[in-house]
Structure 1
Amino acid sequence: MNIPGPEPRSDGGVGAVAAAGGLHTYQLRLHAEYGPVVRFQLPGVETAVSVADPVLLEATAHIDKRPESLFAFLAPLFETGNLQVMPAGEHTPWRRLLLSVLAGRPSHERHFTQFTALATALADRWAERAGRQPVELQKDLTELSLRMICAYALGGDTADPGGIVAAFEEVLTEYLGRLYEVPDGGGREERTRRAEEALAHLRATVDRVVLAHHRGSHPDKSDLIGALVEAGERPARIRDTVMVAMLAAHHTTGVAVSWTLHLLGRHPEVAERVADELDRVLGDRPVPEYADLRRLTYLEMALKESMRLYPPGPYGARETTVALALGDYEIPAGATIFYPFWAVHMNPDYWPEPGTFMPERFTPEEAAKRPRLAYIPFGLGPRSCEGAALAMAEAQLVLAVLLKRFRFRPAPEHEVTPTERFVLWADDIRMTVSPRRTGEEAR
């Protein structure tokens, strides 16, 4: 059976994607019009198929190959080959090593105090602005996210964390600018030079940490670098792995927290339930301990529902190596299969009233009613995000620290529109922040 989809266009599909406001919204429109499996055009991709049904996705979950052309823009960041598209045979042991660190509770606990200090420092800065001017959530929270991953990946005694953050922003801005064809406007050579200098600075920083690990002189070791050193990885591969960890984690946590606060600000009754749970679990303590996260069940449900409505990464992609049967359709070898996370999360067959914010969808009873792949904010299969558990712990911690201290409300006359910039971004999310008092201190 032929896969349904729009008629081919002479521009290779560029105009249709642009007219929809980006690939994330284009996929929503395609699936609304053509159903759960859609063929569409995309520049540089001969056969593109998007699949928004979680049951059909099961047939693709084993695929361990990413389309190289879609990730080519990241290649200059790496010295040992593009880690985003490494061959399956090499990728499997590398992934196993990363999961042994990033998914492990002991590693999370060791860094939790430092994460808490970083989140508290941001809350202190916002407290100075409370009631006076709105805060720019995504700007501040993505910087916090990067500071957290720097502390995690490089260890806690990095001499100049602010410099690391600035350098990585320089690199990311340059390479994402190329991906999204940001107008030059002059100064391209100067921007390229700055990005190359920033990249060299980052690599040199990692080298110093690696050397300290070898000498045993690093007082607060990086679990990530320590595992890579112990596994006998060469310095260039260690540098690349730290870079990919920073890349993956940079916006993800900050964006997820931003969208959650945005939704809670528009649903004060849900925000009140979250606040009540924080008071019940934490009492007078301003911040949680790591063990408290498991008891903040409604906060976790609110976060998951936010990531359903606004998945930080709006889509993923794999490449078939052999022909694949997908329901009534046959996908040829060499095809690019898109995972439209946003469209999957908005599928009304599995999410009644999909546009409504309802954290109760994530009670154990409700979750058990849905197919396994109905909710995939971190992807699926052997190329899913290795740092998912770490990202969730970070996001829950940041939300707990902020919501224990503040109430958030939308800034007057400020519209928030999702845009796709490697993650599901917005121009910014501005909200007013007011101090929150509980118990006898309530005013």
Structure 2
Amino acid sequence: MDIPGPEPRADGGAGAVAAAGGLHVYQLRLHAEYGPVVRFQLPGADTAVSVADPVLLEATAHVDKRPEPLFAFLAPLFEAGNVQVMPADEHTPWRRLLLSVLAGRPSHERHFARFTELVTELADRWAERAGQGPVELQKDLTALSLRMICAYALGGEAEDPDRVVDAFEEVLTEHLGRLYQAPLPGSREERAERAAEALAYLRAVVDRVVAAHRSGDRADRIIEAGERPARIRDTVMVAMLAAHHTTGLAVSWTLHLLGRHPEAAGRVAEELDRVLGDRAAPEYADLRRLTYLERVLKEAMRLYPPGPYGARETTEALVLGDYEIPAGTTVFYPFWAVHMNPDHWPEPERFMPERFTPEETAKRPRLAYIPFGLGPRGCEGAALAMVEAELVLAVLLKRLRFRPVPGHEVTPVERFVLWAADDIRMTVSPRT
């Protein structure tokens, strides 16, 4: 059976993506019109097959090859080869090492006190701002996330986190713009020069952070593996990129949703008071008792998945329901469309943290919720990101109340990740 999809375009699909406002929204529209499996054109892949059905995704979960052209926009960040598309035989041991560094509970506990200090510093600053105008969630929380991953992975501080975040955006916006032929301000030469300057700055920052690492800290695990300096730099670079986006934006969207749903915010506050008592911050062991807070965070990441998308290249023919996918096909994972699939998420646009009770979770297919991707190329830092996000939310919501700024429009846009176009501005006030 032929896979449904739009008619081919001479521009390779770039115009359709741009007209929709980005790849995330385009995927939602494609699946709403053509169903759970769609054939479409994608710049860098010619023709791709997008799968928004979590049951059908299971047939692709073992695939360990990424289509190189789709991830070429990340290549400028890497000197030792694009770690996002390294062959499976090279990727598997490297992934194992990264999981040992990023996913271990003992290391999370060991760094928890430092994480708490960093979050508390931000809470203090925001508390001082109470009554003096709104805070910009994305700006401050992505910078906080960058500080946290540097403290965790390298035992050091990121210098000028705001500038580092801006530099990442400069590089990615330029190279994504080339891939999707998106209109950007300034001439191509000016943009290329700005991107080159931003990349040189990022490399210099990473070199200084790596050089300053403490003996015995997490960087040594990578160094002891015998990797060359360029690969170490690449790994730190991608960790900084992924961590500040994922955690900072997940917390930002969660606070935005709680501001629009005061009843849920009240339940979070009650749970924090019950579990923490008079303490301003949780201990690591407290996180498992903050069950409603975890459900709120997961529902926020369902509605606004911080990760952009996933993609694999089939190495053998696959059968997806009624369709046969030949070897060499780009299989696209549209995280947002999967999370908005009404067959598994009734009233998908509603904010309903109760979807993540154990009883409700057990009713859904395993891959109905994939904010960190799936399979052997899923995010190695998923467990760390959840610990960080829950801690940040617990500290902020124990002390502060967040309310939307009247008249401020929060519009999701694609900037590699799902970003708010004009930040998420909220007023803060002390809870007591």
The reply to whether TM is greater than 0.5 is: yes
Match of 2:181 in 1: none
Structure 1 consecutive aligned stretches of length 4 or more whose deviation exceeds 4 Å: none
Structure 2 unmatched ranges of 5 or more: 179-183
Instruction: State the match for 1:170 in structure 2.
Output: 167
**Matched residue, 1:41:** 41
The whole-number CA distance in structure 1 between the counterparts of 2:165 and 2:369 is 31
CA distance in 1 between counterparts of 2:277 and 2:351 reads 27
1:246 to 240, 244, 247: 240
Residue of structure 2 in register with 1:179 after alignment: 176
> Does 2:316 match 1:322?
yes
1:325-336 equivalence runs, <5 A: 325-336=319-330
Residue identity opposite 2:172 in structure 1 = Y
DSSP 3-state at the match of 1:354: coil
Aligned partners of 1:3 and 1:291: how far apart in 2? 49
Taking the TM superposition and a 5 Å limit, the aligned residue runs for 1:331-370 are 331-370=325-364
Aligned mates of 1:295, 1:360 — CA distance in 2? 16
Q: Structure 1 regions of 5+ residues with no counterpart?
A: 213-217, 438-443
Q: Is the 8 A contact 2:143 2:161 kept in 1?
A: no
Q: Is contact 2:103-2:384 (8 Å) kept? A: yes
1:433 aligns with 2:418: no
Q: Cα 1:351–1:188, aligned 2, differ >3 Å: closer, same or farther?
A: closer
Contact kept in structure 1, 2:123 and 2:395, CA below 8 Å: yes
Deviation at 1:165, TM superposition (A): 5.7
| 1:241 CA drift (Å) | 1.1
Please say which of residues 397-406 and 316-325 is displaced more in the overlay. 316-325
Verify the 8 A CA contact 1:80 1:240 in the aligned structure 2. yes
Is the CA contact 2:141–2:252 (under 8 Å) kept in the aligned structure 1? yes
1:389 is matched with which residue?
383
Deviations, residues 77-126 of structure 1 (Å, cap 9, x unaligned): 21211001000000001001111121101111111111111111111111
Q: How many residues align?
A: 425
Q: 2: CA distance between counterparts of 1:119 and 1:9?
A: 48
- 1:11 corresponds in structure 2 to 11
- 2:139·2:162 contact (CA, 8 Å) conserved in 1? no
Cα shift at 1:244: 1.2
Give the distance between the partners of 1:135 and 1:164, measured in 2 at CA: 17
> Structure 1 CA distance, aligned partners of 2:199 and 2:16?
34
Task: Report the secondary structure of 2:4's partner residue.
Answer: coil
Structure 1 distance, partners of 2:76, 2:415, is 19
Q: Which residue in the other structure is 1:440 paired with?
A: none
Which residue pairs with 1:275 in the alignment? Answer: 269
Mapped partners of 1:239, 1:193: distance in 2: 17
Cα distance change, pair 169–154 in 1 and its aligned pair in 2 (3 A): farther
What amino acid is the match of 1:367?
Answer: T
- In structure 1, what is the Cα distance between the partners aligned to 2:209 and 2:342? 46
SS for the counterpart of 2:159 is helix
Q: Conserved in 1, the CA contact under 8 Å of 2:172 and 2:416?
A: no
Change (3 A) 1:171 1:136: closer
Residue 155 of structure 1 is matched in structure 2 by 155
Show CA shifts across 1:125-144 (max 9, x none). 11111123111111111111
Q: Give the Cα separation in 1 of the matches to 2:360 and 2:329.
A: 35
The verdict on how the C-alpha distance between 1:273 and 1:98 changes in structure 2, with shifts beyond 3 A counting, is same
Per-residue deviation, 1:154: 1.7
Q: Distance in 2 between matches of 1:320 and 1:202?
A: 37
| Whole-angstrom distance in 2 between the partners of 1:259 and 1:199 | 26
| Deviation, structure 1 residue 172 | 4.2
Per the alignment, residue 136 of structure 2 pairs with 136
Map 1:188-203 → 2, pairs under 5 A: 188=191, 190-203=193-206
Range 427-436 or range 168-177, more displaced: 168-177
How far did 1:226 drift? 1.7
Letter in 2 for 1:238: I
